Structure 1
Amino acid sequence: MRKASLKSGSLLHGRRAMLQGTALCLVSAALLRFSSAGVSQAAEQSAPADYAYQPVFFSHEEWLTVSSFVDRLIPADAEGPGALDSHVPEFIDRQMNLPYGHGSEWYLRPPYVKTSSALGYQFLFTPRDIYKQGLSALNNATKQRYRRPFHQLDADQRDSVIALMEKGNITLSPVPAKLLFSQILKNCKEGYFSDPIHGGNYKMGAWKMIGYPGARADFMDWVDRYGERYPLPPVSVGGYVTQGGV
């Protein structure tokens, strides 16, 4: 994106266009619910030098693929931090080891009857399945098309592949491209706006960008002051004003 990295007209027309409609509902849900030569230059340079998180669920190549994918969904720019700055891949990795990743709240039991997607999720894949099988299929597809795995593509090539996935115009198997795209996009936005206690939203950078007060006990005196920026820094569920200690 670099303002709008995906060329597809249906997804994003800039950072704020994507984030504005989802920010408050995502942060509220987050409060309640719960490197390699191959990686791109952006993925290598965006993480702090002392960032030492090691993925538990993702393999090394899966980690690089997820990191290079979310880097294109929310890249760093003048408006605020990117997905890598915000440790979104860490958030996703942690989620995959929680009941959510195992699809514990999804109905995945028989009998299996083919029906309309209008009735809800119609696949048997858990989030863990979507990532494990989908990322492998994605890398196989880009190796056929570009002779390189996804994380070794340049930014424009990754944007092109992501746009094709959004529209379902690239074939992945067994996880459909649109399903993998929507899963990563959903988790990327959740991690970007989550409480830092869950691993994402490093130093509450996304909250600061939109002026969200976080888990402050009381800010009722500001609810009617429309258009005014809240003057105090956000606070995480753990009571921290900065990431240190989270």
Structure 2
Amino acid sequence: MNKQEQPGTSRRQFLLSTTAVILLATAGKAGAVIIKGAAPWAPFDYSPPQTLEPGGWYFFTPQEAAAVEAIVERLIPADELSVSGKDAGCAEFIDRQLAGSFGTFERLYMQGPFQAGAPEQGDQSSLVPQQRYRVGLAGLESYCQDTFKQSFASLSADQRDKVLTGLQNGDIALKSIDAKLFFTTILTNTMEGFFADPIYGGNKDMVSWKMLGFPGARYDYRDYVEMHNQKIDLPPLSIAGRPEWKAKG
């Protein structure tokens, strides 16, 4: 057999054989762990919901909290269908979100460059949520004091609506922050707090879920998958269960 007839090892064959060796070695290690009686994963190792104990404010000052409660009360006013955003706990939801990773945009890239972009490019602000609320609420307080000689929380319902409409339309200028950005941020967070799981501080007593007829965070819906256009009379269920499930001390 001459040199041209001798079989050679191609690059592809080499890579395939190397990969097989690595896979076999890894499988052997995993099997050894299981044989020893230790599971190859840790129970509940899944980034559980970030929650804070009820009661008190974790980020807002008392003055800021009063303003936010007054805002969410007008963004979602009480009616025949549900309680207001304030009574549903939207301010508490926002406060706890700001005190956590959301407040600093911990999981987002925030190194810039920060430039004014087109609407379809989304949020381009360098301000993280904590800064947006702190600066925005300070600007709102300054505007209300200059215009009405009182804080936003002390205004009448009609006056609050007028101010919020001005922020939404950009007719009111706030110091150090775009009024529309501030309004959009707090409106979005208010809606999230109204419809989120109660474990996060809002949607108290699952009021919005009851209004919508949403059964909540149940484990299994297989018995109801084929029930199209039918009312499902299931009481809503939070991630943390239902209040009556908790043992009384």
Any unmatched runs of 5+ in structure 2? 1-47
Query: 1:152 corresponds to which residue?
Result: 154
Tell whether 2:58 aligns with 1:60.
Answer: no
Query: 2:29 corresponds to which residue?
Result: none
Structure exhibiting the larger radius of gyration computed from Cα positions: 2
Number of residue pairs matched?
197
Structure-2 separation of matches of 1:73 and 1:113: 30
**Residue 82 of structure 1: CA displacement?**
1.5
Report the TM-score, using the length of structure 2 for normalisation: 0.74
Question: Would the alpha carbon gap of residues 131 and 218 (structure 1) be closer, same or farther in structure 2, given more than 3 Å must change?
Answer: same
Query: 1:217 corresponds to which residue?
Result: 219
Any unmatched runs of 5+ in structure 1? 1-31, 35-51
Tell me how large the CA RMSD over aligned residues is. Answer: 2.0
**1:25-79 deviation per Cα after TM superposition (whole angstroms, max 9, x unaligned):** xxxxxxx976xxxxxxxxxxxxxxxxx7211100011000000000001111111
Tell whether 2:128 aligns with 1:126.
Answer: yes
Query: 1:3 corresponds to which residue?
Result: none
Structure-1 separation of matches of 2:108 and 2:164: 26
Query: 2:195 corresponds to which residue?
Result: 193
Question: Would the alpha carbon gap of residues 244 and 68 (structure 1) be closer, same or farther in structure 2, given more than 3 Å must change?
Answer: farther
**Residue 220 of structure 1: CA displacement?**
3.0
Query: 1:17 corresponds to which residue?
Result: none
Question: Would the alpha carbon gap of residues 120 and 97 (structure 1) be closer, same or farther in structure 2, given more than 3 Å must change?
Answer: same
More helix by share: 2
Output aligned runs, 1:1-246, within 5 Å.
53-240=55-242
Q: Which has the higher contact order (CA 8 A, sep 6+)?
A: 1
**1:153-206 deviation per Cα after TM superposition (whole angstroms, max 9, x unaligned):** 000000001111111111012111111111111110101111111111111111
Query: 2:21 corresponds to which residue?
Result: none
SS at structure 2 position matched to 1:101? helix
**Residue 212 of structure 1: CA displacement?**
0.5
SS at structure 1 position matched to 2:209? helix
Over 4 Å off, 4+ runs = 241-245
Report the TM-score, using the length of structure 1 for normalisation: 0.74
**Residue 242 of structure 1: CA displacement?**
5.6
Structure-1 separation of matches of 2:245 and 2:231: 21
Amino acid in structure 2 at the alignment position of 1:71: E
SS at structure 2 position matched to 1:53? coil
